[in-house]
Structure 1
Amino acid sequence: MSTSRVGFRFFQNTRAAFRDAYAPFRRPGAQGRRFQSTEAGETAQQQSYFQRMWNSPVGFKTVHFWAPVMKWGLVLSGVADFARPAEKLSLTQNGALMATGAIWTRWCLIIKPRNVALAAVNFFLGCVGVVQCSRIFLYQRSQKGSSLEAAKEMEHEVVDPAKKLGKEAEAAVEKK
């Protein structure tokens, strides 16, 4: 006896065991079939678009549909800020938009059900953040005359409020 023959027998036995274990959950008349019957396919084709979206795991009645719809408001407000002068833009706000877009784009492709619509809106949110942060950096560079000075200025704009927030959080934790 070769080891491949033993492995084959093991595979056959476990397959039969799983087939028997899940027998009560199968549709009537679906013994051993892997694909849906034509009857099920016909009913799916008879449903309207609205019915399919209503019953879908990412359909109209779920948060998987409404989250991207509402989040487009953030993207549109960021795009509207393209018309604002760069000196009036907030680096921390646009940095947060950039980070949110990057982090949540990846997360939307990991969760089940995978939400491509939410991944798309987060991708565009990250793009808006990148464009705005680039505008802020270029403006500060033109004011300071040097990229290094502008980068240091931007670092202080982000790091100082973060340190202050961290100290406030530590103080709040120590009070409890």
Structure 2
Amino acid sequence: MSFRPGSRIFNNFRPFFRQPLLRRRVGTAAAPGEQSGFAKLWNSPVGPKTVHFWAPIMKWALVLTGASDFTRPAEQLSLTQNFALLCTGAIWTRWCFIIRPKNIFLASVNFCLFIVGAAQVGRILNYQQSLKKAEGQAAKEGKVLEGELKDVAGKAEKAVKS
């Protein structure tokens, strides 16, 4: 016998911990060897007792944060950050189908992360392309105005000489 009080208490109460919490099924029509829906989820290899369940729950915060950026103007978004979200979503979605146990819940959150990242990268690239077009048009207008100014200057010089 151990002299540690915690060990003695645990050993004395061990039979109480081994008893099942529910001695009979309440309100289930499942066969004797079959589990109910919640029991299947609870005892699943990707159920709430594992990290395979809680990691996707936490990863939804990334998806929601990326989706909340849809309200921000495209000039305030980071291309590298959103491209990283896009790549992460694509890579890990594929990985979720390779690993064992297959984690469809994790695959769904990664696919949503890919979609959010792709949408944001698309917005950023469209914004940058519109800036380049605007700069090109401004340069063309500047050349036209420069030519017109030279013509007016030439006419002014001729008028002053005559």
Shared fold per TM-score greater than 0.5: yes
Partner of 2:111: 123
Shift, 1:124, TM fit: 0.8
TM-score by length of 1: 0.56
Q: Which runs of 5+ in 2 are unaligned?
A: 1-29, 135-162
Partner of 1:12: none
Residues 95 and 44 from structure 1, CA distance in 2 versus in 1: closer, same or farther, beyond 3 angstroms? farther
Shift, 1:125, TM fit: 0.3
Partner of 1:72: 60
* 2:96 matches 1:113: no
Partner of 2:74: 86
Partner of 1:165: none
Shift, 1:44, TM fit: 4.5
Cα shift readout 1:39-67 (whole Å, capped 9, x = no counterpart): xx82344x343322221111110111111
The alignment of Structure 1 onto Structure 2 pairs a total of residues equal to 105
Counterpart Cα distance in 2 of 1:138 and 1:111: 36
Matching residue within 42, 45, 59 for 2:31: 42
What is the RMSD computed on CA atoms of the aligned residues? 1.6
Counterpart Cα distance in 2 of 1:145 and 1:90: 20
Residues 44 and 140 from structure 1, CA distance in 2 versus in 1: closer, same or farther, beyond 3 angstroms? farther
Partner of 2:123: 135
3-state DSSP of counterpart to 2:32: helix
Residues 49 and 142 from structure 1, CA distance in 2 versus in 1: closer, same or farther, beyond 3 angstroms? same
TM-score by length of 2: 0.61
Counterpart Cα distance in 1 of 2:89 and 2:33: 35
3-state DSSP of counterpart to 1:68: helix
3-state DSSP of counterpart to 1:42: coil
Counterpart Cα distance in 2 of 1:79 and 1:139: 18
Cα shift readout 1:58-85 (whole Å, capped 9, x = no counterpart): 1110111111111111111111000000
Cα shift readout 1:11-49 (whole Å, capped 9, x = no counterpart): xxxxxxxxxxxxxxxxxxxxxxxxxxxxxx82344x343
Identity %: 63
Runs of 4+ with deviation above 3 angstroms: none
Q: Which runs of 5+ in 1 are unaligned?
A: 1-40, 147-176
Partner of 1:57: 45
3-state DSSP of counterpart to 1:112: coil
* 2:90 matches 1:102: yes
Counterpart Cα distance in 1 of 2:33 and 2:47: 15
Counterpart Cα distance in 1 of 2:115 and 2:38: 32
Higher CA-based Rg: 2
Shift, 1:100, TM fit: 0.1
